[in-house]
Amino acid sequence: MIPAMPASAAAARARQAPSSSSASPASAVSSASAASSALLTFGRVAAMGTVTALILIAGVWASWGTAQHVLLTKGREQGTIEVTRCGGGTCSGPYTPVSAGSQARERVVVEDSVAVAEGRTYSVVLKPGGDGAVRSGPAGILYAWVPLGGALLLASVIVAGGLRRTRAAWGMAAAGLALLTAAFFAV
């Protein structure tokens, strides 16, 4: 016993301890409240976790359409394109092959974006079965993963607010921002 605590305080604490044989109605209400609170917390975590997973899957899915051509170049035609004309959301120009087995083409099409300017030459990988091309090299890889960077930034807000995991959210936001910044400077 602490010297400053009177003996009657220790006895009062012993009386306040609930006995297992007599449960009061107030304790039944508090246990039901705790159960519903736990259920709501589980529901919030499950819902926000699902939304976060869907956002990240959508980011990977949107990126993979272009990134697969840039990352998995084995067996694909590689070369350069000199952009001669831009309009309607695309740029086109003659294709000069670099890889073995690739053939020169008079016209291939690359997506018109801030990364492509008329009169410049870019290294590209041709998409199979058509005249479409995507940028290759470090700039092409980073540019292909831009949708994932945006998804990381969006998901970080949900992780911080909905899941209340601020460290994970800061990590996701930093990764997304780093990816977008690197793509901006590489392109």
pLDDT category at 111 given cuts 50, 70, 90 is confident
- Sequence-separated (6 or more) residues with CB below 8 Å from residue 142: 179, 182, 183, 186, 187
Question: 136-167, pLDDT tens digit by residue?
Answer: 888 889 989 999 999 999 999 999 998 899 99
Question: 38-63, pLDDT tens digit by residue?
Answer: 888 898 899 999 999 999 999 999 99
pLDDT at 128: 86
Cα separations in angstroms, 175 against 50, 87, 129, 181: 20, 34, 34, 10
The three-state secondary structure class of 100 is coil
Distance CA 86, CA 82 (A): 11
Give the residue from 93, 127, 96 showing the smallest Cα distance to 112: 93
pLDDT category at 16 given cuts 50, 70, 90 is low
Q: What percent of the chain has pLDDT over 70?
A: 84
Question: HEC states along 115-180?
Answer: CCCCCCEEEEEECCCCCEEEECHHHHHHHHCHHHHHHHHHHHHHHHHCCCCHHHHHHHHHHHHHHH
Distance CA 153, CA 109 (A): 31
DSSP state of 77: -
pLDDT, average across residues 9-25: 55
Quick check: pTM over 0.85? no
